[in-house]
Structure formats: C-alpha cells, structure tokens
C-alpha cells in the first residue's frame, strides 16, 4: 500500500482523558462515558470501505484534517463563509488520539508506527459538512 485517503462523515470528537477516583476506599482509573466511541466506529467503518489488506507493520505517515461544524454566530446570509482555523477546544492532539486509537488494528499493528503527519483543525465553510479527512501512507526512506 502506498497511500489511502478517506473521509469520515461525522463531527470530530476528541479522546477524553483518563480519570481517577476513590470509591469505597479503593482507587480506580476509568475513561468517562463519551461520544468518542461513535466517532471511532465511524473512522473504522470509513477506513474499511477503502482498505481490505492486513494491518501495516512499517513506518507510517498519517495526515488528518478535522472540519468542525460552523457555529451559528458565524453564519451569514449575504457574506461569504469560507473555511477558517478552529482555535477552540477540543485540542488537536486529543482529536488525533481518537483517530490513532480507532485505526489501531484495522490500519496498523500499533499506533507507535505512525511517526509523521500533519494535523489541522478547521471550521467548516458555509456549504461544507463536518468531517475528518485522513490520509495514510507508508514512509519511503
């Protein structure tokens, strides 16, 4: 495989941080219930539509472009509504972590194999739906 490019037609969701608590005198660590599971399922499903081979086991580049919904405060009737940088939460590294976790197994053996890639966050243009555009390629060196 040289390169695979696919679109995940879903609102990007960040991987939540692991939480710790004490209950009944015992310490516990857990991941909070979060809509990230549905986003991860969409990522896996979109990937499986374009790739049916075995998981990669070599150095990988993974570029991800996250496009978030346009807030109502940025919707206009008469002015152009171009795509603009997304500078609010969620953080781009937490969004990327959700993609890396979702593709561990179907795309690569371990997400540690991903050693290069660009991550960008955008607010959708006026005529654009929220999505994630993912490009996976093996590194040639």
Structural domains of the chain, ranges and CATH numbers in brackets: 3-138 (3.30.1330.70)
Residues of the chain with pLDDT under 50: none
Q: What pLDDT is attached to residue 46? A: 98
pLDDT in tens, 80-102: 999 999 999 999 999 999 999 99
Q: Which residues of 18-40 are buried (b: 16+ CB within 10 A; e: fewer)?
A: eeeeeeeeeeeeeeeeeebeebb
Number of other residues whose CB lies within 10 A of the CB of residue 137: 17
């Amino acid at each position: 495989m040289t390169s695979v490019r696919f679109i995940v037609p879903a609102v990007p969701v960040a991987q939540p941080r692991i939480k710790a608590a004490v209950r009944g005198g015992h310490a516990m660590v857990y991941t909070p219930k979060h809509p990230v599971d549905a986003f991860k399922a969409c990522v896996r499903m979109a990937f499986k539509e374009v790739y049916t081979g075995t998981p990669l086991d070599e150095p990988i580049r993974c570029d991800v472009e996250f496009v978030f919904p346009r807030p109502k405060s940025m919707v206009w009737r008469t002015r152009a509504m171009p795509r603009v940088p997304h500078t609010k939460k969620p953080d781009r590294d937490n969004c990327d972590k959700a993609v890396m976790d979702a593709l561990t197994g179907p795309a690569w053996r371990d997400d540690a194999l991903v050693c290069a890639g660009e991550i960008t966050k955008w607010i959708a243009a006026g005529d654009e739906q929220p999505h994630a555009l993912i490009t996976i390629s093996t590194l040639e060196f």
